[in-house]
Structure 1
Amino acid sequence: MTCEGCKGFFRRAMKRNVRLRCPFRKGTCEITRKTRRQCQACRLRKCLESGMKKEMIMSDAAVEQRRALIKRKKRDQIAAQPPGVQGLTEEQRSMIQELMDAQMKTFDTTFSHFKDFRLPEVLSSGRKITEFMQAPQGEDPDKWSQIKEDLCALKFSLQLRGEDGSVWNYKPPASNSGKEIIPLLPHLADMSTYMFKGIINFAKVISYFRDLPIEDQISLLKGATFELCILRSNTMFNAETGTWECGRLAYCVEDPEGNFQKLLLDPMMKFHCMLKKLNLHKEEYVLMQAISLFSPDRPGVVQRTVVDQLQERFAITLKTYIECIRPQPAHRFLFLKLMAILTELRSINAEHTQRLLRIQDTHPFATPLMRELLCSTDG
């Protein structure tokens, strides 16, 4: 192995075939990065002593052939890309590719590794549900009313397909006590924690994130993990049925009155339906994740300027991608819509966190990782 400078020097010296002499008549000059230009003879001697050989030098024809091959490979790579992608700069294509690779390595879309989770206790007959927790005795009526509202905002049914082809269903009772969703809370905490771990690994794979101080890495993850979880879950959301299809698990929003439009009054549900209708590409989803992750205004971020510059680069890449890939002018406002969606996502994150904290106060269900993220987000 040699640096480019010494490689070029050795090649030129061998091609000139000139007998070099040490100007100091010692032939023992110390050759370092700083002194290598002072004595060509001793520099050549050191090259030979290091194992460089004249017969290993490529001919001029071979060098030109190699350069032509490199150029041809680059042209072939560009030609193999979709026509619009060719309008992106090499740096932007590299950024997108790194994000896509990180997404592929850390997002288990089939949930094949999600196995050790808790389920509501249901008798084999399916007639009775054993609640994990009861409403606390002597609870302040106003506080319990707020918690009940949080719990009753959306009701989920759960379907689990076994490896043997069997199907297990859980459907909450049709009451409005606020307690019917409680048996499902530990399972939802396990599912969320599984996704959180994937998001944390996603960030760690990204070189731009790893280059930041560890304190800023922690602050960015604490602020953005819930938002990235929502963005990832939208890729599995079926807007027509209100179902999140997670491999052999399916989470469906219960609508006892059969009027799906009423569910859209919930900000989270409305958000998922609105985002899903945009039919985003995987590249657009992953760039939105990066923009959300690299938010300089998260609490505790020290290198705000660096993070702000990174966020701007990801935003410009998303804008350029849309302009290059999406037919214009039909999608000329898509970038602005996505920026507005990310802003709304911040509000949903804050509201959702407050809801979970109120429930956690009286019905502890969160895993240690969830508690850490909830408390830091609230702070």
Structure 2
Amino acid sequence: MFERAKGNNFGVITCQSCKAFFRRNANKSINVFNCEYEDNCDISIANRKTCKKCRLKKCFAVGMKKEWILNEDERQLRRKQIEDNRHKREKLMRDKEIKSIEQEITQEINDTNGGKLSQESALKLQLVSTQPSTQSLSANSHYLNKHESNCLLELLGAISHLTTPPIPSSNAVNGFFRSPEELMNYSVEVFDSYLSDFVDSIKKISAFQHICLNDQIALVKYGCLEVKMIRIGVSFDIKNKCWSFQTDNNDTIKLSLNLFKGFKTNTYSVLKKYLLRVVNELDHDHLILNLLVPILFFNPERPNIIHKEVVVLQQQLYVYLLQRYLRMKYGSESDVRNKFLRILNLMQDVQALDKLHKQNMITTVSLNNFGPLLKEILDIQTDLCIHN
């Protein structure tokens, strides 16, 4: 009321000084204060501190309401609401930014030939920081720098071609796979085609080129089916609880999750657990699943690896990239740390599914139907196939 007004305080436009005075004294009885001039002081900016009683009376007279003063519990609740609203606004901004990033990545990949990105096209993306490229960004930055964005684009461009081969139309009876045996026979039948596509895709990742031939072979042999298990989380239709595939005559055939109940192993329960984690832990975020592909693939603990330190280096690159993406999406360090650990737990589900898938193929399909590449991947000896 005496200085320049700063806002609406307790129902009246006042200065900060009167706001603070009223909060301190409004709940006190006005009779605890004494006035030396018969309660008739002319309160102004010059003498406002000389008589608290008349100043308080003037506050009430202009309409300030003590009922609007918050107690300690109410102030804490108010602060919490403000903080929660701030977090919601920040999350909304991050979600919009992530969605924009994903759309730009998808468009950029679709606009390239064979998923191979040029340096010029990669630099067009808004993923790149507005800061000079020579200036390093902190780990908490909400932008990927040029090197990080190029690595991400390279990865997504490479694995975008890991598609399921067309299914023979003879399998599309009633539009569904009919039995576990039919599914496993199909998996064996198309394995060579899948492996060829997998090798072509993984060779497009520059990190793979830094690894010696012996270690490349070991990584492909022991990692190709695990990557396939990750990818089933990308294509799963959670609403209809099935996968959809194209046949060789452009019809659609569906694979129901319930079909896996027919396996003698516990495939159904492990698979369902994995798919639910994809939805609940990853918010069905396909970008996170795709980042798990190289983390799982570049596993230095694979058999027959010679240069483990080189493989570890490539794996750490994508671990770091996943952590950077999570910081962009979730913001809070504690949230990022917890989310990252839960995501890594998915890898245990993937490895369990890989073992079950191999076991199901071996026990369901005649080994004589296995091609030489699949026999090598599964370490099946030729003499075992002859007597099967």
Under a length normalisation based on structure 2, what TM-score does the superposition of the two structures give?
0.53
Structure 1 residues 336 and 116: alpha-carbon distance in aligned structure 2, compared to 1, 3 A threshold: closer
Who is 1:213 aligned against?
Answer: 212
CA contact (8 A) 2:267 2:356 kept: no
Alignment of 1:56-71 (within 5 A): none
Count of residues paired in the alignment: 240
Cα offset, 1:77, TM superposition:
4.8
Q: CA 1:298–1:85 in structure 2 vs 1: closer, same or farther (change >3 Å)?
A: same
2:343 to 338, 346, 359: 338
CA 1:354–1:187 in 2, change beyond 3 Å: closer, same or farther? Answer: closer
* AA aligned opposite 2:185: P
Q: Does 1:354 align with 2:359?
A: yes
Q: 1:191 to 1:274 in 2, by over 3 A?
A: farther
Residue equivalent to 1:229: 228
Could you say if the C-alpha distance between residues 77 and 373 of structure 1 is closer, same or farther in structure 2, counting changes exceeding 3 Å? same
2:167 maps to 1:78: no
**How far does residue 209 in structure 1 lie from its aligned partner after superposition?**
0.4
Counterpart Cα distance in 1 of 2:283 and 2:192:
27
Alignment of 1:1-379 (within 5 A): 77-78=128-129, 86-104=142-160, 106-108=161-163, 114-115=165-166, 117=168, 119-120=170-171, 168-170=174-176, 172=178, 181-247=180-246, 248-253=251-256, 255=258, 266-277=269-280, 278-328=282-332, 332-360=337-365, 362=366, 364-375=368-379
Helix, strand or coil for the counterpart of 2:378? helix
Supply the distance in 2 between the matched residues of 1:76 and 1:254 (Cα, whole angstroms): 37
In the alignment, the residues of structure 2 paired with residue 371 and residue 324 of structure 1 have an alpha-carbon distance, to the nearest angstrom, of 43
Instruction: Letter of the 2:194 partner, please give it.
Output: M
Measured in 1, the distance between the counterparts of 2:322 and 2:297 equals 14
> In the alignment, is the contact (CA less than 8 A) between 1:118 and 1:187 conserved in 2?
no
Whether the 8 Å contact between 1:295 and 1:311 is mirrored in structure 2 is: yes
- Cα distance in 1 for partners of 2:338, 2:127 equals 32
Identity, % of aligned positions:
17
What are the superposed Cα offsets for residues 90-128 of structure 1, whole Å, 9 maximum, x if unpaired? Answer: 332222121112123x233xx5xx3474745xxxxxxxx
CA offsets, 1:204-223, max 9 Å, x none?
11111022111111100111
Alignment partners' CA distance in 1, 2:292 and 2:162: 15
Segments of 4+ moved more than 6 angstroms? 72-76
Q: Taking structure 1 as reference, are residues 98 and 85 closer, same or farther at Cα in structure 2, changes over 3 Å only?
A: farther
5+ long unaligned stretches in structure 2 = 1-122, 132-139, 382-388
Aligned mates of 1:198, 1:79 — CA distance in 2: 37
Number of the residue aligned with 2:38? none
Query: Which structure dedicates a bigger proportion of its chain to helix?
Result: 2
Q: For 2:182 and 2:287, how far apart are their aligned partners in 1?
A: 37
Structure with greater Cα Rg = 2
The 3 A distance-change label for structure 1 pair 267 and 193 is farther
User: In structure 2, what residue type is equivalent to 1:276?
Assistant: V
Distance 1:117 1:365 in 2: 17
Q: State the Cα deviation string for residues 247-294 of structure 1 (Å, max 9, x = none).
A: 4433332649x9xxxx99521232123223423434322210000110
TM-score normalised by structure 1 residue count:
0.54
| Matched-pair contact (CA < 8 Å) for 1:199–1:229 | no
Pair 1:233–1:198, CA change in 2 (3 A): farther
Task: Map Cα deviations across residues 185-241 of structure 1 (whole Å, 9 max, x no partner).
Answer: 332323454433322222111111022111111100111111111111211101232
